[in-house]
Amino acid sequence: MTRYAALMRRIETQAPSLFSLRAIPASSLLLFLPALASLLLPAGCKKSIPDRPIGASVHIQAPLGLPPVPIPPDNPPTAETIALGQRLFYDPSLSKDDTLACASCHNPRFHFTDGLKFSRGVGGETGIRNAPTLLNVAYQTFQFWDGRALTLEEQAASPIADPIEMNQSHEVSVSKLNRDPVYPAMFRKAFGTEDITLKRIEKALASFERTILSGNSAFDRYQYGGDKTALTPQQVRGFAIFINPGKGNCAACHTVSPQYALFTDGKFHNLGQGVGEDGSTFADPGRYHQTQIDTDRGAFKTPTLRNIANTAPYMHDGSLRTLREVVDFYAGGGNSNPYLDKEIKTIHLSGQDRADLVEFLKSLTGDIPPNVGPPAKDTAAKDPAANE
C-alpha cells in the first residue's frame, strides 16, 4: 500500500461521518491533505522542547564535613540555571494569589524552614506537616517526609500545584512566567530557547536548591578539620553519648561517617510520634501512604540534624518545641505501637547526659552560603519575609 493510499484509508476510517473521500477528486483532495494530516498526527509528534541546560557546567563546592554534591547527568548545574532557579524560588507569582513563594516555607531567615508547627498556604490554609529545612537537600535520596518524590527535580514543582500550599496549576504558572518581562530571556540563556515548560522550571529550581549547603560547623572543624579546640568539653561528652550504641545510639539513624556526616540515613522510621490513643493508629500514616506496606505505618524520613538548633519546632508534626524535649522523647523510648522501629528503646540518660547531648546538637550549626538569599535586584519585591 502506498503512503497516499494508507493516508486515505486512515482518514476515511477516522472521519467517515464527515464526508466520503472517494467522492472527492484526488487533485482537489491533495489541497487539503496537509491540514488533515496535521490534525491526525499523534500527540507524541508535537514539537519537542529540550530541557537540558546549554551553558557550561559549574562546580558546586561542598563545605567541610559534606561529601561531593551528587549531580544528575541530565541536569548539570550552570550559572544560568542556578540564577533562574533562585529567581523562581523567591517569586510569589508561582502561587494563586501572588503572595507565597517557595521561600515562604523555606525561608533563609529561619535556616530554610518557616519556624511554624504547620506551614500556611494560600488563603491561610494550614498544612498537615512541619516544613523541613532545605539545607543539604541535595544529598537526600527521597524528598518530603513520606518520600513521595525521588529527586529534587520531581519535588520542585509539587508544592506549586498543591491546593493547601501555593494552589496554582502548572499551566497557569507557565502562563504567568511567559508574561513576565524577564523570564523568557532567562530561560533562553539557560536552555537555548525562550520556551517555558514545567520540566525547565523543575530543573532550574533543583539546580538552585543544590547550592543550599551548610557545613563547616564547630563539629566539622573538630571531627574533620583537626581542630580539637572547636568543641567545648560538654559538647565532646555529648558527641560520645551520641555515637555510643549503649547510650544515646543517635548515630544509628543520624549517621556520622569517617570522611563526612549527613546526620541522616535517608530512611524511614516509626518513632511512635502521632500515634492515636488506641496505640496503633496514626492520623498521618507517613510512608505507608506511598507504599501501602503495614510496617511503614507511622514511619517518616529521618531529618538531618545539621543546623537543628535553629529549625524548631521538631518532628513531622512540629509537636516538640525544644531540643531538650526531643532528647527526652527519645530517652523515653518514643511512643509504643505495633510498628515501632527496632532502634527505638528506652535509654538511661542522666540529666547531665541530656544537657550534654543538647549542647552537642548546637555544635552542628554551620555556615550558610552568602548568595542563596533573594536575588539582589528583587529583594524588596520578592523577599517573602520582607514584611515580617
What is the per-residue pLDDT across 167-220, written as a single tens digit (0 to 9) for each? Answer: 999 999 999 999 999 999 999 999 999 999 999 999 999 999 999 999 999 999
**Distance, CA of 329 to CA of 32 (rounded, Å):** 74
**Distance, CA of 70 to CA of 89 (rounded, Å):** 21
**Distance, CA of 120 to CA of 123 (rounded, Å):** 8
Q: Is residue 210 a contact partner of residue 86, using CB atoms and an 8 Å limit?
A: no
pLDDT tens figures, 132-173: 999 999 999 999 999 999 999 999 989 999 999 999 999 999
pLDDT class of 46 with cuts at 50, 70, 90: low
DSSP string computed for 208-270: HHTT---B--HHHHHHTS--TTSS-HHHHHHHHHHH-TTTT-GGGTS---SS---S--S-EEE
pLDDT (0 to 100) of residue 34:
47
218-362 in CATH: which number? 1.10.760.10
**299-301 and 268-270 strand pairing:** antiparallel
Helix 323-331 to helix 351-362 angle (10° resolution) is: 130
The CATH number fitting domain 79-212, selected from 3.40.640.10, 1.10.760.10, 1.10.287.130, 1.10.3720.10 = 1.10.760.10
Q: Count the alpha carbons within 13 Å of 84 in the hemisphere toward its beta carbon.
A: 28
**Distance, CA of 188 to CA of 200 (rounded, Å):** 11
**229 conformational bin, left if phi > 0, alpha if psi -120 to 50, beta if neither:** alpha
Q: Is residue 222 a contact partner of residue 228, using CB atoms and an 8 Å limit?
A: yes
Mean pLDDT of all residues belonging to the chain: 88
207-234 burial, b at 16+ Cβ within 10 Å, e below that, comes to: bbbbbbbbbbbbbbbbbbeeeeebbbeb
pLDDT class of 346 with cuts at 50, 70, 90: confident
Which whole-number Å values give the CA distances from 128 to 51, 56, 124, 281, 298, in the listed order?
33, 40, 13, 17, 14
Q: Is residue 347 a contact partner of residue 331, using CB atoms and an 8 Å limit?
A: yes
pLDDT tens figures, 226-264: 999 999 999 999 999 999 999 999 999 999 999 999 999
Which amino acid is present at 316? H
- DSSP 8-state secondary structure symbol assigned to residue 277: T
pLDDT (0 to 100) of residue 179:
96
286: nearest Cα among 267, 305, 304: 267
Count CB-CB contacts under 10 A for residue 244. Answer: 13
pLDDT class of 118 with cuts at 50, 70, 90: very high
- Global confidence as pTM: 0.84
**Distance, CA of 311 to CA of 109 (rounded, Å):** 10
Largest CA-CA distance found in the chain, in angstroms, rounded: 96
**Distance, CA of 62 to CA of 321 (rounded, Å):** 30
Please report, for the chain, how many H helices and E strands are present, in that order.
15, 2
Cell of 350: 542522666
Q: What φ, ψ does residue 268 adopt, rounded to 5°?
A: -115, 130
**Distance, CA of 108 to CA of 134 (rounded, Å):** 9
SS3 141: coil
pLDDT (0 to 100) of residue 384:
53
In this predicted model, which residue has the larger pLDDT, 387 or 214? 214
pLDDT class of 18 with cuts at 50, 70, 90: very low
CA end-to-end span of the chain, whole Å?
72
Q: Is residue 237 a contact partner of residue 382, using CB atoms and an 8 Å limit?
A: no
